[in-house]
Amino acid sequence: MADMRIRTGHTRPIDFTLKRDGSAVDVSSAGTKVARGRIKGKSTTKFSNNLSFVTDGTDGKVRMTPGSSDFDTANIMYEVEVRVVLADGTEFVPKLFTIWAEEALPAP
């Protein structure tokens, strides 16, 4: 089951909450914040996007704004790896987030 469902061509912001043992992780000191995505079962990176904080990062929330070609294949599961590097050099990579991309609706 996917963590999220979207339509192909999705370009609206996508928010992720980074957790450890069920609790949000304070990532406010993170300098590096990146999301890398690939089609599930493939090893090739399809996109890599810098992330921003949704608020101040103390709540573990980061935001990705995808490009129009990031999720361009319909009926495919994407895996997104979120990676942050905290000020003390600790790298935090939570679980892979899964996103199911459905066919975009036709224009009216």
pLDDT in tens, 40-58: 999 999 999 999 999 999 9
Question: What residue numbers bound the domain in which 13 lies?
Answer: 4-102
Dist. CA 64–CA 108, nearest whole Å: 28
Alpha helices in 4-101 (DSSP H): none
Cβ atoms of 84 and 30 closer than 8 Å: yes
Domain count of the fold of the chain:
1
Flag whether 24 is in a domain.
yes
- The domain that holds 14 is classified in CATH as 2.60.40.3350
Flag whether 15 is in a domain.
yes
Flag whether 68 is in a domain.
yes
The model carries a pTM of 0.90
Closest to 4 in 3D by CA, of 82, 73, 102: 102
Flag whether 50 is in a domain.
yes
**Does the structure show a pLDDT above 90 at 108?**
no
Dist. CA 85–CA 75, nearest whole Å: 32
Flag whether 107 is in a domain.
no
